[in-house]
Amino acid sequence: MRTRVTELFGIEYPIFAFSHCRDVVAAVSRAGGMGVLGALHFTPEELELELAWIDEHVGGRPYGVDVVMPAKYEGADMGDAEELLAKLQGMIPAEHKRFLEDLLAEHGVEPPTDQAGKALLGWTDVTARPQVEVALKHPIALLANALGPPPADVVEQAHRQGVKVAGLASNARHARKQVDVGVDIIVAQGTEAGGHTGDVATMVLIPEVVDAVGEDTIVLAAGGIGRGRQMAAGLALGADGVWTGSIWLTVAEADTPERALPKLLNATSRDTVRSRAWTGKPARFLKTAWTDAWESENSPGYLPMPMQFMLIADALPRISRSGDGELVTFPVGQIVGSMNQIKPSAQVIYDLIDEYVEAITRLNTITDSD
């Protein structure tokens, strides 16, 4: 296959795979796509180890790193990371803490510990920057930002090192803004996607973004793409490639939490919900007792980013390892309904391509008939 992104990166297939798992990133790149490591949950030191591992196992193929630098967040003017953390911790209302601990107790989750140190990781400019510094010391081909346009100086620094910059956008206006600060690739992500997502569906969003950014900017289609027919649809809509995320949660190499995995494998496309209950901004998750509780009459409402995640960060591992399991949720898109089987990452790539070729062949039969 040949599009502007296969040419740009020297990859075989225009398939980008977002994953927090280094094994998946390396496996996808080796299979001819491009793996992109989500850096959010790593300290700079951890990220350094992950990327060194990928460098060793990716067989010289290109890969990328994805960070989260939100354009707007509470505490943007509050100084360095430690100072910011302390100030924001103090701003979390007692009512929210009480609601959370009552909810956890109701579901038999073990009591809190004292360490909430990782709570702020990567969710702000000051915490994401060290990640960018680490990433740019490795031979990455792509630096992606998951929320809004990355700061202009980060774009410049990446470009100086020959690293392309991608930005996620959920509407045409945001996409244009990113192009203005020098972003090379827009990942246009529809509402059906997992994680942070807007409300416009992929079918409507992609042509709008492609037309809005003009011919010089590359657009990847994201949201609802996990099979070859969807890849064909994404390219038909005008994209130069597809950006996938959810489908890598159930591959053989994935390190998806033990209690979340069966829920993902059994869920239908109707079992997700867009909720602020994780990060404070709307993100699509498995609909479970967790998302239900935050929408219930007793809910104190959501805190703004990054405070909602700071509030719950310590609870997440406790929910993962104790209690009745009903609160376990996970960021995932509507494609979860098609994720019913554990396959090696390379097999997922080959299946995508097989079904893609079938879809194109069928389209030509439809079109060439007269």
Q: Which residues bind a copy of itself (CB under 8 A)?
A: 1-3, 14, 171-172, 190-192, 198-208, 223-225, 227, 229-230, 232-238, 268-270, 333-335, 337-338, 356-357, 359-360, 362-367, 369-370
Checking 203-206 for CB contacts under 8 A at 24+ apart, the result is: 203/233, 203/237, 205/170, 205/171, 205/172, 206/234, 206/237, 206/238, 206/239
Strand partners, 18: 36
Kindly give the interhelix angle for 44-57 and 22-30, rounded to the nearest 10 degrees: 30
Kindly give the interhelix angle for 81-90 and 125-135, rounded to the nearest 10 degrees: 150
Decide whether 43 or 299 has the Cβ nearer to a copy of itself: 299
CB of 168 to a copy of itself, least distance (A): 16
Return the SS3 of 273: strand
Strand partners, 241: 220
Decide whether 36 or 232 has the Cβ nearer to a copy of itself: 232
CB of 235 to a copy of itself, least distance (A): 6
CB of 220 to a copy of itself, least distance (A): 13
CB of 68 to a copy of itself, least distance (A): 22
What are the tokens at 129?
């920057």
Residue type, 167: G
Decide whether 200 or 315 has the Cβ nearer to a copy of itself: 200
* Cα–Cα dist 26/233, whole Å: 26
CB of 268 to a copy of itself, least distance (A): 8
φ, ψ of residue 81 in degrees (nearest 5): -60, -45
Decide whether 49 or 357 has the Cβ nearer to a copy of itself: 357
Residue closest to 44 by CA, chosen among 101, 94, 118, 100: 118
Decide whether 80 or 370 has the Cβ nearer to a copy of itself: 370
Residue type, 132: V
Decide whether 122 or 282 has the Cβ nearer to a copy of itself: 282
What are the tokens at 271?
């079992």
CB of 125 to a copy of itself, least distance (A): 26
Can you tell me which residue has the tokens 């219930």? 296
CB of 230 to a copy of itself, least distance (A): 6
Residue 122, CA distances (Å) to 145, 249, 360 in order: 11, 21, 40
CB of 288 to a copy of itself, least distance (A): 16
What are the tokens at 267?
């869920």
CB of 231 to a copy of itself, least distance (A): 9
Q: Are 124 and 340 in contact (CB under 8 A)?
A: no
Decide whether 65 or 168 has the Cβ nearer to a copy of itself: 168
Can you tell me which residue has the tokens 């609870």? 315
Decide whether 180 or 211 has the Cβ nearer to a copy of itself: 211
What are the tokens at 156?
């410049």
Decide whether 54 or 205 has the Cβ nearer to a copy of itself: 205
Residue closest to 125 by CA, chosen among 3, 305, 264, 253: 305
With the C-alpha atoms ordered 157, 163, 169, 175, is the resulting torsion angle positive or negative? positive
